[in-house]
Structure 1
Amino acid sequence: QEMPAAVPAARAANAPDDTFLLTIFLRHDESRPLPKINEQLRAQGFFKAFPPPGIEVVSWYVMMGIGQVVTLRVPASRLREVNRAIETTAWGGYRTEFYPTYDYKALAQQMRANDGK
């Protein structure tokens, strides 16, 4: 059986071939109150530098007990730029984790529709 594309066809047609999704966990330092964290992030230029211009934000959520979870669509050639924006402006305010990610929603929905009967 042929596997359907994980990304809806309309979205896949618009996405450059060299992009990937990158999910970043920005974990709060719970030993410090949020105003102090934000003060440090402002001083380091986080809000100006992240995400770098032209990098698409797919989602940006607050996950209670974790911090913020950001998913970006990143051209492969710009991965270093995204990493450097985090290293130079987010560290100290956040502990960071990076996860290459892919969109599975359309495939999961199709599998549930076909195989979940």
Structure 2
Amino acid sequence: MAQNAPAPNPTNTAAPVGDGTFLLTIFLKHDESKTLPQINQQLKEQGYFKAFPPPGVQVVSWYVMMGIGQVVTLRVPADKLREVNRAIESTAWGGYRTEFYPTYDYKAAAEQMREQNNK
């Protein structure tokens, strides 16, 4: 995880409605033609560890998915979307292939549905 990124808080990941933020899940897929030390060196040279995530963007979760790379979910203020995109384009490409997915927290709704349907 990036040094300046806040630790995930799994008990408080849902955003209040209308707070101007959204969740964004990013797949950072390893370039398998490179070793991990080569990837990390390239990311370092490109400034990735300093640029991502940009200030004002909260890390909700950051996992290693074996065989894929890393999966990061961010809480992004709407006006910071371009900064997130530019940080990835400028510093992560070459070490990672990327995919972006707008995301929402479904856990509470799923639990409620399970509870209602198990009665």
TM-score range, shorter chain: 0.7 to 0.9
TM-score normalized by the length of structure 2? 0.85
Pair 51,10 (structure 1): closer, same or farther in 2 beyond 3 Å: closer
- Structure 2 matches for 1:1-117, cutoff 5 A? 11-13=14-16, 17-117=19-119
Shift of 1:17: 1.8
Structure 2: unaligned runs, 5 residues or longer? 1-10
Question: d(CA) in 1 for partners of 2:107 and 2:83?
Answer: 28
Structure 1 runs of 4+ aligned residues shifted over 2 Å read 8-13
**How many residues are aligned here?**
109
Greater relative contact order (Cα 8 A, min sep 6): structure 1 or 2? 1
Give 1 or 2 for the bigger CA radius of gyration.
1
Aligned CA RMSD, in angstroms, stands at 2.0
* Structure 1 unaligned residues grouped into runs of 5+: 1-7
Point out the structure with the larger helix share.
1
TM-score (ref. length: structure 1): 0.87
